[in-house]
A and B are shown apart, each in its own frame.
Chain A
């Protein structure tokens, strides 16, 4: 399954009934060195575009919004001691968490990779 992106630079990738969430490589680069990831509570339920997690870099603290609704079933606890993984691999090993129970129809309000690349050009 392909990745879909939000205007706030989160990505989501759905495999089976799980949605993996992260921030885009562009966002990680813009944030600079990432020093802390506030992982969501396991079991937490969020609606699409609700605040899901937090991220801090040497420059700023930002929220991470849920690109899709769902319940948190897994968090990437490697980020607790190595948040720099997000800089190194924002769209793979640096994933933030996995959600279940979302509605894939919500992907319709997101951008695919090509549309997101276009969107970045316009920023």
Chain B
């Protein structure tokens, strides 16, 4: 584990007796009290996640003239200052290099938040698509990120930092001062609950972590519960549900692709749209508490039609749930499937996303 990177909170996690494991090149907390307990805490109270492993880039320049406008599947120019947008960085074949969120900090200033495992590759690809020597800096090392997620997260943050935070609506953010330093507080997350992502200088992360955990409504939560929370609302996990051989159209994420504008991979997507994708993403519910898992086979009428990309037991639904990619003819809502691995077999049915829509996300 010597090559793994550690966040500023490594000793904090160890003191909390977290179970630590490698994730995207980082040594990260998987669980503290337990995955199910942390999941419940996030659905009912406010869960605190160390997300310092994720990457942040800062772009300064003319968005249109310097080429940033054509880098992603959505218009950066079209994002009003103070708002953020989710979308993709694609390769020429339309495959997803990364899914990311772009924050419009100012007219000529943009923060790009990317997955941990893809930081290096994203940085060089985005850089190579810019023009006029536009300035793109990787600020990941100096930028910390804590996510506070759950129905009580707003009142916790308002109590500590004032009412300005309480007024932030979904996919908006503010630049503010926290603990005497500049911070970005964004109403975004990965849990399906009301929640915030807080970006601040790395050296202040421990102080904010300790301050938040003093509140009895707040408990630490690890990447295990985060994965369960995101799957219940049907969010994709890069590396499992999305990768360079998967297009946003196949993944059912075309609402984050603007075909009215130019971007790398657009021609491939237009071609795929006219022919129809070879495999399409489905969401399915299992008829028991069994959990489907990554790489399990998906069968329809006795024939393998695809495989599972994410799966878990859902505490909110009390059954197994999963995402997978299958031949289009097995993707219709209500289709009966069998998910199989070795001697394990479970019946499943294609359903709509989200699996769980009862969260406080838009509260």
Contact = CB atoms under 8 A, between A and B. Distances in A.
A25 interface: no
Interface in B12-54: 31, 34-37
A38 B288 CA distance: 10
Contacts of A35: 36, 289, 291, 313
B145 interface: no
Given A32-B35, A35-B313, A58 B224 contact: yes
A58 B344 CA distance: 16
Interface in A30-54: 32-33, 35-36, 38, 54
A83 B288 CA distance: 13
A19 B290 CA distance: 27
A38 to B, nearest CB: 8
Contacts of A83: 289
B34 A32 contact: yes
A58 B313 contact: yes
A112 interface: no
A58 B35 contact: yes
Contacts of B312: 58
B35 A33 contact: yes
Nearest to A37: B289
Interface string B278-317: 0000000000111101000000000000000000110000
Contacts of B291: 35-36, 56, 58, 61
A84 B320 CA distance: 16
Contacts of A36: 288-291, 313, 320
A56 B290 contact: yes
A36 B36 CA distance: 13
Contact of A32 (B31, B289, B293, B344): B31
Nearest to A63: B343
Interface residues of B, number: 16
B152 interface: no
B127 to A, nearest CB: 38
B185 interface: no
A55 to B, nearest CB: 11
B31 to A, nearest CB: 7
Contact of B344 (A33, A59, A61, A84): A61
Contacts of B34: 32-33
A38 B293 CA distance: 16
B136 to A, nearest CB: 38
A35 B346 CA distance: 15
A93 B345 CA distance: 28
B228 interface: yes
Given A33-B36, A54-B344, A56-B313, A61 B293 contact: yes
Interface string B145-178: 0000000000000000000000000000000000
Which residue, of A58, A59, A61, A84, has the highest number of chain B Cβ atoms within 10 A? A58
Interface of A: 32-33, 35-36, 38, 54, 56, 58-59, 61, 83-84
30 contacts: A32-B31, A32-B34, A32-B224, A33-B34, A33-B35, A33-B37, A35-B289, A35-B313, A36-B288, A36-B289, A36-B290, A36-B291, A36-B313, A36-B320, A38-B290, A54-B344, A56-B290, A56-B291, A58-B36, A58-B228, A58-B291, A58-B312, A58-B313, A59-B35, A59-B224, A61-B291, A61-B293, A61-B344, A83-B289, A84-B36
